[in-house]
């Protein structure tokens, strides 16, 4: 594994604002090794497989043996999607060994973090800072419970990896008319780390997208590439510094909830039992509503409002601030 | 034996190179091998095989979705007995459904050529178990070929037909999720059209009455011996000479992991893992100081090699569960003291966030489970997208055994006589047609008091949106008869049948309540198309009116992925926001919202 693939022709020019896309002098992009392991991750519907396809075609074009492997059984149902692309003179395993990925491309922030242990020490980390918060992350009904989403910020991560880039690719792509072209923005960023001719990239991208979105994708690629070249020259640009923390707002109040049921007024209609979002009410043997799980009650007042006989009253007070 | 694989080297230069997924390579090979009839029931990771076959000319190949795996194999058998090449494909658990046919067909043979492609799922990426098909091939006394990559999947599928005809046996080609879904360049060839042989015409062979079966069984045993002899010299069995310190017997994708870790080791690669070429294995064992067996899942080869009286080691070093990987092969060889262990992995100290799969925004299954949870029912579930209702926040499915189990499970729950809750079976439309009809008939016949909900989303959604007899379209998209569930249920003797739209939450509740109090079998057909297939549905998204949300979390109980917490809070609870790009405007959240603050986005 030696002979680096050299970039043919002149330094690639980006279409959008090619005047600003100056490569840092002296240290151009990394020479590509004869072969590589690229791991692309995200969630269903984001276009992980499109990136994988482009990288695979590009590698094939350079004359490599390529294996592209993915598991996408649950992809459509909002689950995790990942694709391994391995290329070189001879490729055996279709999967990348943990710690051996030359590049990790994440279309979603928390997914990038999930796979970080697959990246080589000197590998390139490229992530969209876009968050797709799963319903699972909004599950705790405790007062003031934070969203159960990754806490690490782009600044944290970029400082922890050797060669990291974190950008809001979705917004960049949206600027060209389609947020779904975020994957092509990330390909632009990747292109600045692999010494393959820009023309080859564009050719395989065009072959992999529907004809009517070619322009959007060409622009998205150019913007990603330009952004990456600028960020290489100026490391402060490597991450989106506007995102400081993913922590939940602090200083929330822990409410004290008292729920009273006037048994004499309750006629056992079951409405409160069926409509309590926390399912904490029940009818007892006498067909009277009782609070069966007081800990689950969030004091949302629904039962109080819906009871046709005004049998339920709720009082909420907010004495102590939650310590963050 | 004249069964030789046409190796890649033979004129590979002139052969067309195509980047193919393992499944596509299998389909290509089937088409080239002149398969006339191919039948399958979808199942991850096997589904793309028939989907790709349907792209070849209809004049060449009859490719169809069968109603289930047993039917697909029986169709293939019928075609093979008529003297043409035939194939069925399925996921590993589909083989259980088809087992009866294959067990008998092993006695009958293959005549025109009969290949069954079975895709296992080590690691249980999307299945209900990780059974190892190599064990089944032994049970059925039929050979199993195990390709390691797409090129081999192509070569071996073609070869499987030659072996099938030559030895008069059904042949299994076993893939795994990893192989089925890995794309690499395959050198392909041209299609040949074998001459149809005509009907087998030998009823002493094709009618398995006891007298015939008794005569056929010894022939099966003889056939196995002949196959083993063939595999001693066949290129399917490949001895790669290397360092004699240790030798590895392996096959399937495990071979690639071994090559990745110890490219220069002595390797005996078995292209067929049943029957085993005993003499070659013995000679290989003699040539090395220590013999190891690297195989994914069960210690099938290891036990058989040990039974031959040859010392070897396998599962002592390599896991019996889940998918193998280069990492695990390296760790196992290191544990055996044969190579250096890998340096410790980089510690990143980030807790990965849970992201379980969820029902789509607007999924028509959602409301049924919200209602069933509200009605406090005992739910016998089944296999499909709707199995996701077994976890929070829908958490309303008590069982999911295997495809088609729900209705009869519910009958059994009722027969137990101890259940206090109303008993409900929920079953998807594709699953109902696959294996839900006999238990429906049974429920009526045995006078069960249960409710059955047929979740009719008009597609086989879980596996990516395949047609079935209830969609009125064939695999190739041609119009065909569309099953009517109501008529079918009435014909089975169900007197109480209602059809409803699950987007009408109030009516859905009401109908389910009525069904539950009905004495006897009640069927509710909840009809509303899947939002992904056959067409992606996207209506006007909804939004949450400013200040209207009281953060009660009622809508969050739907588990719709378009609903998440906003930054604003109300009394310590998160208010909700709707992601307008993914919301399809089904209005379920608006229907459960007590304050009416969820309204369509105004342009
Ligand atoms: C025997 C068997 N064959 C195939 C599968 C793969 N499989 C899982 S769910 C499913 C179909 C589900 O379709 P349907 O019942 O209509 O429910 P939907 O996913 O559309 O909600 C299939 C084919 C399986 N699990 N078991
Ligand atoms: S694919 Fe269809 S059936 Fe499956 S979760 Fe999505 S909408 Fe529901
Ligand atoms: S209308 Fe509500 S429940 Fe339906 S998709 Fe939109 S957010 Fe989800």
CA B178 from centroid of its chain's CA atoms: 13
Express as a percent the part of chain A with pLDDT over 90. 68
Determine the average pLDDT of the residues in A200-227.
95
What pairing do the DSSP bridges indicate for beta strands A65-71 and B378-380? unpaired
More confident residue, A228 or A2: A228
For B142-209, the three-class secondary structure string (H helix, E strand, C coil) is CCEECCCCHHHHHHHHHHHHHHHHHHCCCEEEEEEHHHHCEEEEEEECCCCCCCCCCCCCCHHHHCCC
Q: Give B443-462 pLDDT, tens digit per residue.
A: 999 999 999 999 999 999 99
In angstroms, rounded to a whole number, what is the distance separating the alpha carbons of residues A106 and A104?
6
User: Does the distance separating the beta carbons of B594 and A113 come in below 8 Å?
Assistant: no
More confident residue, B481 or B545: B481
Confidence of residue A13 (pLDDT cuts 50, 70, 90): very low
In angstroms, rounded to a whole number, what is the distance separating the alpha carbons of residues B243 and A97?
24
pLDDT for position A324: 42
Confidence of residue A319 (pLDDT cuts 50, 70, 90): low
Confidence of residue A31 (pLDDT cuts 50, 70, 90): very low
CA proximity to A105, closest of A153, A55, A155, A66 = A55
B154: number of CA atoms within 13 Å, CB side? 24
Confidence of residue B597 (pLDDT cuts 50, 70, 90): very high
Average pLDDT, rounded, for chain B: 95
In angstroms, rounded to a whole number, what is the distance separating the alpha carbons of residues A68 and B181?
8
Confidence of residue B3 (pLDDT cuts 50, 70, 90): low
CA angle (A71, B129, B98) in 5-degree steps: 100
Contact (CB, 8 A) for B425 and B449: no
In angstroms, rounded to a whole number, what is the distance separating the alpha carbons of residues A275 and A300?
11
Choose the mutation target among B572, B575, B595 for the interface with A, i.e. most A CBs under 10 Å. Answer: B572
CATH superfamily for B16-233 is: Thiamin diphosphate (ThDP)-binding fold, Pyr/PP domains (3.40.50.970)
Choose the mutation target among A48, A53, A76 for the interface with B, i.e. most B CBs under 10 Å. Answer: A76
Is the pLDDT at B5 greater than 50, yes or no?
A: no
Confidence of residue B177 (pLDDT cuts 50, 70, 90): very high
CATH fold for domain B542-600 = Alpha-Beta Plaits (3.30.70)
**Which of A44-48, A188-192, B425-429 comes out lowest in average pLDDT?**
A44-48
More confident residue, A235 or A9: A235
What pairing do the DSSP bridges indicate for beta strands B182-188 and A80-88? unpaired
pLDDT for position B334: 98
Determine the average pLDDT of the residues in B544-552.
90
pLDDT for position B116: 98
Confidence of residue B346 (pLDDT cuts 50, 70, 90): confident
pLDDT for position A26: 36
> Could you give the C-alpha distances from A236 to A112, A188, A239, in angstroms and in order?
20, 19, 7
Residue nearest to atom 5 of ligand 2 (CA): B359
Determine the average pLDDT of the residues in B486-501.
98
User: Does the distance separating the beta carbons of A148 and B354 come in below 8 Å?
Assistant: yes
Q: Give B131-163 pLDDT, tens digit per residue.
A: 999 999 999 999 999 999 999 999 999 999 999
Q: CA-nearest residue of chain B to A254?
A: B572
Residue nearest to atom 4 of ligand 3 (CA): B586
Determine the average pLDDT of the residues in B164-172.
98
Reported pTM: 0.93
Does residue A306 belong to the interface with chain B, where contact is any CB pair within 8 Å? yes
User: Does the distance separating the beta carbons of B567 and A68 come in below 8 Å?
Assistant: no
Residue among B44, B356, B363, B535 whose CB has most ligand 2 atoms within 8 A, to mutate: B363
Residues 6+ apart with CB under 8 A from B564: A133, A135, A137, A138, A147, B576, B577, B579
Residues 6+ apart with CB under 8 A from B477: B467
Determine the average pLDDT of the residues in B197-206.
93
User: Does the distance separating the beta carbons of A74 and B125 come in below 8 Å?
Assistant: yes
Determine the average pLDDT of the residues in B321-338.
97
Residue A301 in tokens: 């007042």
pLDDT for position B603: 74
Is the pLDDT at A255 greater than 80, yes or no?
A: no
Is the pLDDT at A20 greater than 60, yes or no?
A: no
Q: Which atom of ligand 2 is nearest to the CA of B365?
A: 8
In the numeric block, the tokens 């003797």 are attached to B493
CATH class of the B237-335 domain in this structure: alpha beta
**Which of A69-83, A193-207, A215-229, B394-408 comes out lowest in average pLDDT?**
A69-83
CATH superfamily for B365-527 is: Thiamin diphosphate (ThDP)-binding fold, Pyr/PP domains (3.40.50.970)
Contact (CB, 8 A) for A173 and A220: yes
pLDDT for position B569: 87
SS3 of residue B4 by DSSP: coil
Determine the distance separating the centroid of ligand 1 and the alpha carbon of B532, expressed in angstroms. Answer: 15
Q: Give B262-306 pLDDT, tens digit per residue.
A: 999 999 999 999 999 999 999 999 999 999 999 999 999 999 999
Q: Where do the domains of chain B lie?
A: 16-233, 237-335, 365-527, 542-600
What pairing do the DSSP bridges indicate for beta strands B182-188 and A65-71? antiparallel
**Which of B5-9, B260-264, B411-415, B550-554 comes out lowest in average pLDDT?**
B5-9
Whether B16-233 shares its CATH topology with B542-600 is answered: no
In angstroms, the first-to-last Cα distance of chain B is 74
Q: State ipTM.
A: 0.92
Question: Which domains are assigned to chain A?
Answer: 5-237 (3.40.920.10), 256-317 (3.30.70.20)
CA proximity to B72, closest of B34, B46, B52, B111 = B46
More confident residue, B602 or B508: B508
Dmax (CA) of chain A = 88
């Amino acid at each position: 594994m030696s002979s680096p693939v050299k970039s043919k022709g002149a330094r690639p020019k980006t279409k959008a604002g090619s005047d600003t896309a100056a490569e840092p002098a002296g240290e151009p992009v990394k020479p590509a090794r004869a072969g590589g392991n690229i791991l692309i991750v995200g969630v269903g519907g984001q276009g992980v497989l499109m990136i994988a396809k482009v990288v695979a075609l590009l590698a094939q074009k350079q004359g490599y043996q390529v294996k592209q492997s993915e598991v996408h059984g649950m992809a459509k149902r909002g689950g995790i999607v990942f694709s391994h692309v391995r290329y070189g003179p001879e490729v055996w395993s279709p999967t990348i060994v943990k710690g051996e990925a030359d590049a990790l491309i994440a279309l979603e922030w928390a997914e990038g973090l999930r796979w970080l242990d697959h990246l080589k020490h000197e590998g390139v980390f490229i992530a969209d800072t876009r968050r797709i918060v799963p319903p699972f992350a909004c599950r705790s009904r405790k007062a003031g419970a934070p969203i159960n989403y990754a806490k690490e910020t782009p600044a944290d991560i970029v400082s922890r990896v050797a060669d990291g880039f974190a950008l809001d690719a979705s917004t960049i792509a949206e600027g060209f008319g389609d947020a779904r072209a975020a994957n092509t923005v990330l390909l632009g960023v990747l292109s600045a780390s692999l010494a393959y001719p820009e023309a080859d990239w564009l050719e395989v991208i065009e072959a992999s997208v529907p004809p009517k979105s070619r322009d959007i994708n060409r622009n998205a690629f150019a913007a990603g590439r330009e952004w990456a070249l600028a960020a290489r020259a100026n490391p402060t640009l490597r991450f989106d510094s506007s995102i400081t923390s993913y922590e939940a707002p602090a200083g929330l109040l822990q409410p004290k909830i008292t729920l009273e049921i006037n048994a004499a007024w309750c006629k056992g209609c079951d409405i409160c039992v069926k409509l309590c979002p926390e399912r904490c009410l029940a009818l007892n043997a006498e067909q009277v509503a009782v609070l069966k799980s007081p800990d689950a009650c969030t004091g949302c007042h629904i039962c109080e409002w819906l009871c046709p006989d005004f049998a339920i009253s709720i009082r909420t007070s907010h004495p102590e601030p939650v310590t963050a | 034996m004249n069964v030789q694989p046409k190796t890649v080297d033979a004129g590979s230069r002139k052969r067309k190179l195509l980047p193919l997924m393992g499944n596509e390579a299998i389909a290509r090979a089937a088409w080239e091998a002149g398969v006339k009839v191919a039948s399958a029931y979808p199942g991850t990771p096997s589904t793309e095989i028939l989907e790709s076959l349907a792209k070849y000319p209809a004049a060449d190949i009859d490719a169809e979705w069968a109603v289930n795996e047993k039917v697909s194999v029986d169709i293939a058998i019928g075609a093979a007995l008529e003297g043409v090449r035939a194939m069925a494909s399925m996921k590993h658990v589909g083989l259980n459904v088809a087992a009866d046919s294959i067990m008998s067909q092993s006695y009958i043979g293959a005549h025109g050529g009969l290949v069954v492609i079975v895709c296992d799922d080590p690691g249980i990426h999307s299945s209900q178990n990780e059974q190892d098909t190599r064990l089944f091939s032994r049970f059925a006394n039929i050979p199993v070929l195990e390709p390691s990559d797409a090129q081999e999947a192509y070569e071996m599928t073609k070869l499987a037909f030659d072996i099938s005809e030559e030895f008069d046996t059904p042949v299994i080609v076993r893939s795994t999720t990893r192989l089925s879904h890995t794309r690499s360049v395959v050198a392909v060839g041209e299609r040949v059209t074998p001459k149809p042989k005509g009907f087998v015409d030998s009823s002493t062979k094709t009618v398995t009455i006891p007298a015939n079966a008794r005569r056929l069984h010894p022939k099966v045993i003889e056939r196995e011996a002949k196959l083993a002899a063939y595999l001693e010299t066949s290129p399917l069995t490949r001895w790669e000479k290397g360092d004699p310190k240790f030798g590895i017997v392996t096959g399937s994708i495990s071979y690639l992991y071994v090559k990745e870790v110890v490219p220069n080791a002595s390797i005996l690669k078995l292209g067929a893992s049943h029957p085993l070429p005993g003499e070659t294995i013995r000679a290989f064992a003699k040539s090395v100081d220590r013999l190891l067996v690297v195989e994914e899942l069960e210690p099938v080869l290891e036990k058989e090699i040990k039974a031959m009286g040859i010392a070897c080691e396998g599962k002592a070093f390599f896991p019996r569960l889940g998918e193998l990987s280069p990492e695990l092969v390296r760790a196992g060889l290191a544990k055996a003291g044969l190579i250096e262990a890998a340096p410790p992995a980089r510690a990143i100290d980030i807790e990965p966030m849970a992201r379980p799969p969820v029902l789509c925004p607007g999924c028509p299954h959602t409301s049924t489970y919200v209602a069933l949870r509200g009605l406090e029912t005992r739910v016998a579930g089944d296999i499909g997208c709707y199995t996701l209702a077994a976890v929070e926040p829908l958490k309303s499915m008590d069982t999911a055994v295997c495809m088609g189990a729900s209705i009869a499970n519910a009958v059994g729950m009722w027969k137990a006589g101890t259940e206090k809750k109303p008993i409900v079976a929920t079953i998807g439309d594709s699953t109902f047609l696959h294996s839900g009809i006999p238990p429906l008939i049974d429920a009526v016949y045995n006078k069960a008091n249960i409710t059955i909900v047929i979740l009719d989303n008009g597609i086989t959604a879980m596996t990516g949106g395949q047609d079935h007899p209830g969609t009125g379209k064939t695999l190739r998209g041609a119009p065909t008869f569309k099953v009517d569930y109501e008529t079918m249920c009435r014909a089975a003797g169900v007197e109480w049948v209602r059809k409803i739209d699950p987007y009408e939450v109030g009516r859905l509740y009401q109908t389910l309540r009525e069904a539950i109090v009905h004495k006897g079998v009640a069927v509710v057909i909840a009809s509303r198309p899947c939002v992904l297939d056959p067409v992606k549905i996207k209506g006007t998204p909804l939004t949450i009116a400013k200040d209207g949300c009281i953060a009660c979390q009622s809508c969050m109980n739907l588990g719709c992925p378009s609903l998440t917490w906003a930054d604003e809070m109300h009394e310590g609870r998160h208010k909700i926001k709707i992601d307008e790009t993914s919301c399809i405007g089904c209005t379920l959240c608006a229907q459960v919202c007590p304050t009416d603050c969820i309204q369509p986005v105004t342009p």
